[in-house]
Amino acid sequence: MSDDDGELLRRLREQEERLVFTRFDNTDAWRLGCLLVELATGRNLPVAVDIRRGTQQLFHAALPGSSADNDAWIARKVRVVYRFAESSYRVGRRLAARGATLDAGYGVDPARFAAHGGAFPVRIRDVGVVGVVTVSGLPQADDHALVVEAIEAHLAGG
């Protein structure tokens, strides 16, 4: 693992430790989803946005330029977060740093799981991961960054 890989993984871990909710209900999902749509629309980003709590989809939007492929990527990224209780980007970067891939060796089907950035865990303090916020349509680091930006603003009350 290079120093750059180690620094990125440290930063991703810090984000997950810092961006923890005290609660997460349908209204929180709606507000966070609308914020993501506002950010993406203002930047003319061709993304799909998805927010889930457990198995229930609470928010979904497909902005101009996105496609059904983005929905398939969302489903694959969400499975990674629920399986590993970490962001899909963090899982993917850790595997890449070790020269490994997400495959049958991890007990998963790569056609159903994608360790690519854009899915971030909704973690409630003293409870754990209860949901996932996902963006698909940009390069993986940008998908991840957009979700983090929105969660930071939401948790700050913005």
Structure token pair of residue 93: 């970067």
What tens digit of pLDDT does each residue of 1-38 get? Answer: 566 889 999 999 999 999 999 999 999 999 999 999 99
pLDDT at position 1 is: 52
CB atoms within 10 A of CB 109: 12
Question: pTM to 2 decimals?
Answer: 0.95
Dihedral (C-alpha) 100, 106, 112, 117: value to the nearest 10 degrees? -50
Ordered by start, the domain boundaries in the chain are: 3-155
Assess contact for 135 and 118: CB atoms under 8 A. yes
Which pLDDT belongs to residue 131?
98
Q: Of 149 and 99, which is predicted with more confidence? A: 149
| Confidence at 106, pLDDT banded by 50, 70, 90 | confident
> Domain 3-155 falls in which CATH fold?
Beta-Lactamase (3.30.450)
| Amino acid at site 41 | T
pLDDT at 141: 97
Residue 75, pLDDT > 60, answer: yes
Q: What is the pLDDT of residue 115?
A: 96
For residue 158, pLDDT beyond 80: no
* Mean pLDDT in residue range 125-132: 97
Average pLDDT for 77-96: 96
